[in-house]
A and B are shown apart, each in its own frame.
Chain A
């Protein structure tokens, strides 16, 4: 399957939150108590049962307010840090660009949670499993569009082949830039290119997103250096012991007459005496 993309054109988003409802509906996720975070925003963060939500950012400058709305969900990175962090082989990436958690294999350790540069996966502490947006893989593999895309009224979400959507997104960006000079695409190259590709009005940090999301250095150090080198070192220690035992055997140092024999005889006597 060719690489897919969901183009999130925030310039068209009206903040209606229909996508979040469609997500709950299709994925059979229970509703949660919401709170007023800022203006219209009612969810602060992802939860094991909330895989997408709307952020509302109010930016005041020159006596005007810019109201930035963004649908937040898993980016489905081409180089996913969560996948690299998972010690249970519970996360896999499809050819179409989807990053999916297999809850049957997940043990809820939270390594993915801590290493995701966007803070997307969340562990359900009761079920001991991590959850996040699946990209509606069960729909797209059956030639349906993701539930959020299907329901989006203003056309802010578009699903299709990456090869056709990326040029379209760039053309749209040129239009938007005429009024919003700071507008840019986010996800074209970030984390190897993310399946959810954004058009943002302003720099990512205005939206609370990392400007340069990267694979954490600690994660690369852990998986690509500490683990292979450590395994090699432990194997080396074990091999040295085998060589040591064989060397001593070969030299006949376990047989009678050695210094050790005299000593251990004494020790056994001592043990016998204690009994």
Chain B
């Protein structure tokens, strides 16, 4: 099945399709890793109940420095990958997150049932289904607002207090939104019986063809054709 051979350099994998390129996977894991470090150091600064856990970083003052250092990675790497890390797919993802089709809305209305283990009816989905697009939007807006408010807080001494005061609720709200989203995201990627196989798309890059057909039929049909017309990439 040369159909699934998306990249000429990579070995032929007849039962698999390439879902995420290396650049996309690096972006995902740098974002995820830095997010969790930021979350744990931030929670320790924000909340006294988490603060004792900061001993693993070497105390609250070290955690404050780590929080800022990792924040730079969180922002710079994520932004940089749009330019150097298989950038085409990054831009495609960004574009698709803002483009909701009728099929996406139908997926979203079937989503609660699916989430709790039932079966909802929805039409063939593209590379990102409606639920994934919502998760993408929460991530995009959460990352944007947490970055902007974080910069304001970092440089608080040279900015007016009236502005800095607003950065605190914005920073926290972004954190809560992204944390709630990541809990659901991890459940679907790791624990949900139907979708947990998708984690391999973020590990090796490949998902079983069967999964692609069942969950992202529209995308699968499209890449089959693309692979014929663009054999090198």
Which A residues lie at the B interface, using CB under 8 A?
A: 85, 87-89, 107, 109-111, 113-115, 119, 128, 216, 218-219, 221-222, 225-227, 229-231, 233-234, 236-238, 240-241, 243-245, 247-248, 250-251, 253-254, 258-260, 262-264, 266-267, 270-271, 274
Q: In the complex, what's the smallest C-beta–C-beta distance from B214 to chain A, in angstroms?
A: 7
Which B residues lie at the A interface, using CB under 8 A?
A: 13, 15-16, 45-48, 51, 60-61, 64, 115-118, 156-157, 161, 164-166, 168-169, 172-173, 175-177, 179-181, 183-184, 187, 191-194, 196-197, 200, 204, 206-208, 210-211, 214
In the complex, the number of residue pairs spanning A and B with C-beta atoms less than 8 Å apart equals: 128
Choose from B169, B176, B187 the contact partner of A221 (Cβ within 8 Å).
B169
Are A87's CB and B46's CB within 8 A? yes
In the complex, the chain B residue whose C-beta lies closest to that of A247 is B117
Bound-state Cα–Cα, A240 to B207, Å? 26
Q: Residues of B contacting A89 with CB < 8 Å?
A: 48
Choose from A107, A113, A260 the contact partner of B64 (Cβ within 8 Å).
A107
Given A114-B161, A264-B196, residue A253 in contact with residue B117 (CB < 8 A): yes
Q: Residues of B contacting A107 with CB < 8 Å?
A: 45, 60-61, 64
Choose from A109, A111, A128, A241 the contact partner of B184 (Cβ within 8 Å).
A241
Are B206's CB and A270's CB within 8 A? yes
Are B116's CB and A243's CB within 8 A? yes
In the complex, the chain B residue whose C-beta lies closest to that of A128 is B61
Bound-state Cα–Cα, A250 to B118, Å? 11
Q: Residues of B contacting A244 with CB < 8 Å?
A: 115-117, 187, 191-192
Q: In the complex, what's the smallest C-beta–C-beta distance from B61 to chain A, in angstroms?
A: 6
Q: Which secondary structure characterizes the binding site on chain A?
A: helix
Choose from A85, A230, A234, A263 the contact partner of B197 (Cβ within 8 Å).
A263
In the complex, the chain A residue whose C-beta lies closest to that of B203 is A271
Choose from A111, A113, A216, A247 the contact partner of B116 (Cβ within 8 Å).
A247
Bound-state Cα–Cα, A128 to B175, Å? 25
Q: In the complex, what's the smallest C-beta–C-beta distance from B33 to chain A, in angstroms?
A: 20
Are B197's CB and A226's CB within 8 A? no
Q: Residues of B contacting A259 with CB < 8 Å?
A: 193-194, 214
Nearest first, the 6 closest Cβ-Cβ pairs linking A and B are A230-B176, A222-B169, A247-B117, A248-B117, A237-B180, A237-B183
In the complex, the chain B residue whose C-beta lies closest to that of A116 is B161
Q: In the complex, what's the smallest C-beta–C-beta distance from A242 to chain B, in angstroms?
A: 9
Residue pairs across A and B with Cβ atoms less than 8 A apart, 17 shown, are A107-B61, A114-B164, A218-B165, A222-B172, A226-B169, A226-B176, A231-B176, A233-B177, A238-B183, A240-B115, A240-B116, A248-B193, A260-B194, A263-B197, A263-B210, A263-B211, A264-B196
Are B192's CB and A111's CB within 8 A? no
Q: Residues of A contacting B164 with CB < 8 Å?
A: 114
Q: In the complex, what's the smallest C-beta–C-beta distance from B101 to chain A, in angstroms?
A: 25
Are B172's CB and A226's CB within 8 A? yes
Choose from A111, A251, A263 the contact partner of B117 (Cβ within 8 Å).
A251
Q: In the complex, what's the smallest C-beta–C-beta distance from B186 to chain A, in angstroms?
A: 8
Are B166's CB and A218's CB within 8 A? yes
Bound-state Cα–Cα, A126 to B150, Å? 22
Q: Residues of B contacting A229 with CB < 8 Å?
A: 176
Bound-state Cα–Cα, A102 to B168, Å? 22
In the complex, the chain B residue whose C-beta lies closest to that of A220 is B169
Are B193's CB and A260's CB within 8 A? yes
Choose from B16, B48, B161 the contact partner of A119 (Cβ within 8 Å).
B161
Choose from B45, B48, B165, B172 the contact partner of A109 (Cβ within 8 Å).
B45
